[in-house]
Chains A and B, each alone.
Chain A
């Protein structure tokens, strides 16, 4: 019966790749480390597309920190990488394996429940040696401050804990980064939103339909007109015995086009190319969604404050530049560098310098340069103007432009494979929709597959998910229920849709004193905790308590 707060040298919040890497490095340096994860198991709250990379230029790789990682925690390696330019049934496919292999030691498809829970067991063993360990079902809800300084964390399930170091690896909707004022949820332009369906397909069918051996796998990206005019693209990755099929869009574009993300995913699922791969095997086992920070705009250049160091998605460290989509590898590097920074600062007798050191390391190791490429900043200033976009679009779709695309042919494929160009692709309609559509129209071949299946509807998708709902204790509150403030959530929320009553957000007509008014109402029961509504609606957004809410089996 002691009333004293507990103290650990380091508290790591979140057991994803960033938190796991941080904890591994801290434990290796004999730092007493406690890892707190809010899911029932590490990975149960996580979603990825997803490919994980080990970059040749990176200071750390996940298998360097966790030997056996590739044999125990991943799916198939990516041995071929394609980009499909789509215009209706016409498709022009570019082989972008060269781009994929640039700076790549290896790259595997992963499912987060399997990956994170495997790593969490290793992390627990390592941290346990230091006198700490890893706990699940604990939600850290804020920072413990003493005399205005960050002194530890506060939790729903535990009494406050003091720490010399707090690593926020609590993901894209980091409550700690927001508590510290380092990140916000204000601007849809800084975010992507991804939705994904995991479809079970027998391994031998994957081998046959993709023409791969059992130790091989493929990645396919899709752009063009199959997502109407929404800026973004689709992907298909081969797992051991399933496919990860998803789409990722700029959140501001979803809002602007009033697009329903689940329907855009359906467009991909029923495209003729997909129909050939899935024929007779459309067995969708999990629908999931995730907010993705756009590091070009969102990555915090100095992600630390006092004893708090922020890593991974929590700090906006998600690189999505054209066909280059890298997040988890950067989280691993950042987490490990944060751990390293603390160990060094402690050795120098000044642990409070960890933040500055971490910032330096992010810069010196080239990570910040990848997350916020200089070239993009210049290109953005030139290219992201409506007038420029319109000019580029009309030029491309004109006969002259079309001729150019035709003549360029193979050169285009090379250009698409340029890692330098990928970094400076502007976030406009042109590269996402117009150019690929024109490429497909001018150079593409007709594909003839026809889907012999109907994608699952939203009711079924929600019904198939596992929830432990915290009845009577909603974790999100709608601050402003007017259509102007929060109406976008009705379509942008991946588990809501216009005219659908079973989702989180819906529009209702309320009659008061003879006048009619449209209002937005919220039911958090089907919530998948993606955070979209925190950006597009006016909410008070928190995660559910530890162990509560949605539980992904695949992720």
Chain B
């Protein structure tokens, strides 16, 4: 079983890491880049597949050479090898040209690996910066595969060459359906994804893989392949800014919440004070 996990580097939006200027614009230079948090679930799903079915897991990202650290982070969750699609020509891509680039990368892996087409491709649900949720499904469209989204639990049946997945209907935990799809397939994991290891043999294998991973992360660069647009044989007109049909007409900062609220301060030291408090509260209590 060969899986490919797509990941993206995003600004670290956690408190204490992210930095905004006075106008509320993100200061990219002062904010570290990390692996998109939702991609952790995609990696967990791929790891579960590897634990239960064996095989390999490749992680792929498109971005500047600095994204190597993002891939290192991805490898620490789990990966056998890493692929970075990196080229000036790919810069400023929207979700459409990103999808074209990624799908070319996946096809290249299939050729380079000689293991044929990857059986499963995993993507996380939305990136923390773009929030579009488009890249995964569009990449799948380029590759012409069946797709299952909002996946929270996954079983692979190699004999029957299919997957069985539990997914949230319309992203809601109140409604869960079980679907099947033939392999090869494309899976978008939901943040509710929960890997399941109910057999000791799987947990032992998981433990072993985690130990191997720790060693591999130390020398992740040895497992990293970078491909340029030329190496992927991509038409410059379909990638990067030139290949992006999306036009951003403008950006409005999110208005700040008012820092002060209308409030009346009452210090109820005695009965009169309490009376005043009750007077203030009465209109809020409904009724009159």
Give chain A's interface residues, CB within 8 Å of chain B: 1, 6, 8, 34, 36, 124, 128, 132-133, 135, 138, 157-159, 161
Contacts and interface: CB of A to CB of B under 8 A. Distances in A.
B157 A1 contact: yes
Given A133-B207, A135-B207, A161 B200 contact: yes
Given A133-B207, A135-B207, A6 B200 contact: yes
Contact of A159 (B198, B207, B208): B198
Contacts of B212: none
B155 interface: yes
Q: Which 7 A/B pairs are nearest by Cβ-Cβ distance?
A: A133-B204, A159-B198, A135-B203, A34-B200, A158-B198, A6-B199, A1-B157
Nearest to B157: A1
A132 B201 CA distance: 8
Given A135-B203, A158-B200, A159-B199, 8 more contacts: A128-B204, A128-B208, A132-B200, A135-B204, A138-B203, A158-B198, A158-B203, A161-B200
Contacts of B155: 1
A8 B201 CA distance: 10
Nearest to A159: B198
A159 B155 CA distance: 16
Interface of B: 155, 157, 197-201, 203-204, 207-208
A132 B203 CA distance: 11
A34 B204 CA distance: 9
Nearest to B159: A1
Contacts of A124: 207
Contacts of A138: 200, 203
A107 B185 CA distance: 61
Nearest to B155: A1
Contacts of B157: 1
A1 B159 CA distance: 10
A135 B207 CA distance: 8
Contacts of A132: 200, 204
23 contacts: A1-B155, A1-B157, A6-B200, A6-B201, A8-B200, A34-B204, A36-B200, A124-B207, A128-B208, A132-B204, A133-B204, A133-B207, A135-B200, A135-B203, A135-B204, A138-B203, A157-B198, A158-B197, A158-B200, A158-B203, A159-B198, A159-B199, A161-B200
A134 to B, nearest CB: 8
A176 to B, nearest CB: 17
- Interface centre among B198, B200, B203, by most chain A C-beta atoms within 10 angstroms, is B200
A158 B199 contact: yes
Nearest to B205: A133
Contacts of A135: 200, 203-204, 207
Nearest to B206: A135
A165 to B, nearest CB: 15
B196 to A, nearest CB: 10
A234 to B, nearest CB: 41
B220 to A, nearest CB: 25
Contacts of B197: 158
A95 B203 CA distance: 51
A103 B204 CA distance: 40
A133 B207 CA distance: 10
Nearest to B201: A6
Contacts of A6: 199-201
Contacts of B204: 34, 128, 132-133, 135
B179 to A, nearest CB: 16
A375 to B, nearest CB: 45
A157 B203 CA distance: 10
B87 to A, nearest CB: 42
Contacts of B208: 128
Contacts of A157: 198
A138 B202 CA distance: 13
Contacts of B198: 157-159
A36 B207 CA distance: 13
Nearest to A132: B204
A523 to B, nearest CB: 28
Nearest to B52: A1
A161 B204 CA distance: 14
B110 to A, nearest CB: 26
A346 B204 CA distance: 25
A9 B166 CA distance: 34
A132 B197 CA distance: 16
A250 to B, nearest CB: 40
- Interface centre among A124, A128, A133, by most chain B C-beta atoms within 10 angstroms, is A133
A454 to B, nearest CB: 35
Nearest to A124: B207
B85 to A, nearest CB: 35
A138 B197 CA distance: 11
A7 to B, nearest CB: 10
Nearest to A11: B200
Contacts of A8: 200
B216 to A, nearest CB: 19
A107 to B, nearest CB: 34
A419 to B, nearest CB: 44
B103 to A, nearest CB: 30
A159 B201 CA distance: 11
A157 B207 CA distance: 15
A157 B199 CA distance: 9
Nearest to A160: B198
A111 B213 CA distance: 30
A466 B287 CA distance: 48
Nearest to A161: B200
A14 to B, nearest CB: 15
B105 to A, nearest CB: 31
A37 B151 CA distance: 31
B44 to A, nearest CB: 16
A135 B201 CA distance: 10
- Interface centre among A1, A124, A128, A161, by most chain B C-beta atoms within 10 angstroms, is A1
B48 to A, nearest CB: 13
B1 to A, nearest CB: 13
A132 B200 CA distance: 9
Contacts of B200: 6, 8, 34, 36, 132, 135, 138, 158, 161
Contacts of A128: 204, 208
B198 to A, nearest CB: 5
A487 B52 CA distance: 50
B263 to A, nearest CB: 33
Contacts of A1: 155, 157
A128 B200 CA distance: 12
A213 to B, nearest CB: 38
A489 B14 CA distance: 44
A132 B208 CA distance: 12
Contacts of B199: 6, 158-159
A464 B198 CA distance: 33
B183 to A, nearest CB: 14
Contacts of A34: 200, 204
A135 B197 CA distance: 12
A76 B156 CA distance: 53
